[in-house]
């Protein structure tokens, strides 16, 4: 069973799923978290990438 790698914003709880990406925010589906630009911010609360932590769903 394969699981998606997901990252959760520790500030607001928004989830980034690597398989889904965030196309509406400029991140294509399938984009690994490591490849998300350092200056990208959470679309919900504006938190920085360093405020996210990997979570298993």
Looking at domain 5-56, which CATH architecture does it have? Single Sheet (2.20)
Looking at residue 25, its pLDDT comes to 93
Looking at residue 3, its pLDDT comes to 66
Looking at residue 56, its pLDDT comes to 83
Burial of 52 (0-12, 13-18, 19+ CB in 10 A): buried
Q: Give the separation between CA 53 and CA 23, rounded to whole angstroms.
A: 20
Per-residue pLDDT in tens (0 to 9) along the chain, 57 residues: 456 799 999 999 999 999 999 999 999 999 999 999 999 999 999 999 999 999 987
């Amino acid at each position: 069973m394969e699981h998606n790698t997901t990252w959760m914003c520790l500030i607001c709880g928004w989830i980034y799923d690597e398989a889904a990406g965030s196309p509406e925010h400029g991140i294509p589906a399938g984009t690994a978290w490591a490849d998300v630009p350092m200056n990208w911010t959470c679309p919900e609360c504006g938190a920085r990438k360093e405020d996210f932590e990997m979570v298993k769903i």
